[in-house]
Amino acid sequence: MNRTRTLAGVAIIAATAITLSACAAETETASGVDAASATSLADFGDLAALEAAAKAEGQLNVIALPRDWANYGEIIDLFAERYPEITINEASPDASSAEEIQAAENLAGQDTAPDVFDLGLAVALSSTDYFAPYQVERWDEIPDALKEESGLFVGDYGGYMAVGYDPDAVPAPESIDDLLGEEYRGKVAINGDPTQAGAAFAAVGLATAQRSGDLDDFQAGIDFFAELNDAGNFVKIDPTPATVASGETPVVFDWDYLNSGYATELEGQRKWEVVVFDGLGYAGYYNQAINKDAPNPAAARLWMEFLYSAEVQNLWLKGGARPALEAAMVEKGEIDEALYAALPEAPAETVVPTAEQSEAAAALLGEQWASAVQ
């Protein structure tokens, strides 16, 4: 749950030619399809043909997928159960998005390179040279705002920025400004560094939305955390279930599904409540992408089709996250109604940063964050 998801602080990567390894270059399947250049299921013919090609490869390399993050553990296990012929290699579950891209660069041409990525938006935007375009079968049902038009990356699951707190340690905060009070001295944490971690970036985004309502300029959010720091309330500890259980981080800015996960994991040890503040809410999604140099290109594409099936989209829901296909699944009657009803109430009005706003915020945070909270 403490994965450091990078959203910011990564420069635009210059387009360079990356030499493919022999295993990545020889991607033609038994049916004559070049899996590495396939841009949709139609290129394989049908799902059965894609499954056969992926089984022939026999491996899938994933990276930075914590099992307690939005129900990834159950999702990975379901893929392994469904495709026992494909060995899933789980690398660096707590790595950041930036480290995923670094791994692809360092391991290019090797069998251990990642096949797929799960990334925050700013890193996805700055790393498109590393991605292979692919549009899953249900592409048209994914909202346009959540996908790069050619299929280089696509949003998959998300939620709202929320505050979790221990009701035995602090009073229930009713607004973001309550956290500036004396009762919260040395108690408020965010999930990482906002120049590196997606959840921390979103915490500043929420403060910006609550303070100014304008995501064109994250200065209001930076100013809030500077005030929090000056008041002695900001604690620079990355929250984990262990730090929550020990009382080191009794107040945590994090995604609603992760904060709810703390409550589940710590049941019987410590009380944990989650609040999504009234007023303007802040939402965000994580993105899937395929490594253009994937050593197992068919398995990578099968993984994508798997993630965007109704069954797995409901597993995101089980993890407390909101699936990208939510609207389409509600319309088709595919949504798990009990899990859907159990989601925290959404803010009446929500903002989601655009690509341009994310890039501007990343640059501003890179310039000002360290001095604001030093």
Percent of the chain with pLDDT over 70: 92
Reduced DSSP (H G I as helix, E B as strand, rest coil) percent helix, strand, coil of the chain, to 5: 40, 15, 40
| Across 107-132, average pLDDT | 94
**CATH numeric code, 22-158+284-341:** 3.40.190.10
Contact 180, 167 (CB under 8 A): no
Q: Which fold has domain 159-283+347-361?
A: D-Maltodextrin-Binding Protein; domain 2 (3.40.190)
Contact 179, 207 (CB under 8 A): no
Q: Of the ranges 255-259, 288-292, 313-317, which one carries the lowest mean pLDDT score?
A: 255-259
**Domain map of the chain by residue range?**
22-158+284-341, 159-283+347-361
pLDDT of residue 10: 26
pLDDT band at 30 (very low <50, low <70, confident <90, very high): low
Contact 240, 225 (CB under 8 A): no
What is the signed CA dihedral for 367, 282, 260, 228, rounded to 10 degrees? Answer: 50
* Mean per-residue pLDDT of the chain: 90
| Across 211-236, average pLDDT | 97
What global pTM score does this model have?
Answer: 0.82
Q: Of the ranges 16-30, 67-81, 97-111, which one carries the lowest mean pLDDT score?
A: 16-30
pLDDT digit string, tens, across residues 247-274: 999 999 999 998 988 888 888 899 999 9
Stronger pLDDT, 334 or 268, i.e. the higher one:
334
pLDDT band at 6 (very low <50, low <70, confident <90, very high): very low
Contact 223, 231 (CB under 8 A): no
pLDDT digit string, tens, across residues 345-357: 788 899 988 889 9
Task: Give the DSSP letter of residue 163.
Answer: E
pLDDT of residue 342: 86
pLDDT of residue 12: 24
Q: Three-class SS of residue 88?
A: strand
pLDDT of residue 1: 44
pLDDT band at 56 (very low <50, low <70, confident <90, very high): very high
| Across 55-61, average pLDDT | 98
